[in-house]
Chain A
């Protein structure tokens, strides 16, 4: 399966799981709702450009927001995750190890 198709399926699946499964679960310890959707952004291909990554994260967050009726809340969080992701990847993955793979 090509990376594009895989990520489109992931996009849809993560939104549906977040809206219809994780948001239907009674809150843990009264206040905590489990959020897994940002894994979509973290799992995007490393080769993606940063602007494209942020734009995709914005669209992803906003489409989730329209389901949850909080337009902008998750979009802002997703854009932040997308912005920080390259720094974290640089920090966590050793450069030489990256080249060997």
Chain B
């Protein structure tokens, strides 16, 4: 029972994790400004807004570090970051950079090793648990439902999930041929990370924000999580890496009651009730949290189960098997 309670909490923890990443992305540019003020040793020359920022940052960081220079320990975004002495980068950055320069930089590739291994083990988990765009897209899905309640038509279409693999391949090819770094320009987590820095520490948003807002609007009016499902090159890469992931969600058919809550809540339009998870599942555990029968669980196995048929607690199975049960009962009664 405790295990089930824990599993059901994972979705909330995931939202905390996503929020934490987002808050860090907001905190870091402020820290950069604060470090500039402290390095300049010019508190008296600051104007009142700058002094306010300084004072707030000082209050926040004083318990953590002796010297503001130590705040250099955490820098960057989910695209590429440095934590202490360790650099960590998005595998898509390695793909993009090696295609553009047509050369292989081992020391840079190694910075993507941890995300690579985690994706091989747990699949598209970056998309579910870390990506800052995910937080905005998920909130946007609920916003779309809110609009729907007001009568606005939403989520009209579905497309082919394989489209994003084409985007990944085409993007890589164009990068190779032209040397232009187009993938970081269209990849939402890189965009969100950079734009938050630009609006806080530089003089405002760039055109990429308009692009991101358009993807939000497309998500609302065209297809649920449209960019993540059909266009994101990073999502495509993570899905490929996670094809044989070990950490999977699977359905326990004996307690499943075919209620379809899991199918309805899946942001990526997967079908847990039909045992269809596939390489696209980002282990977000929303389906686990919503299942009233606790029939969805994590398992360590490299492949999905083949379709197990209707849930045994569900109407379809019971109806199909009532005859059999009755026949069995008669047989055992009669002798």
Q: Do A and B bind each other?
A: no
Q: Which residues of A contact B (CB under 8 A)?
A: none
Residues of chain B whose beta carbon lies under 8 Å from any beta carbon of chain A? none
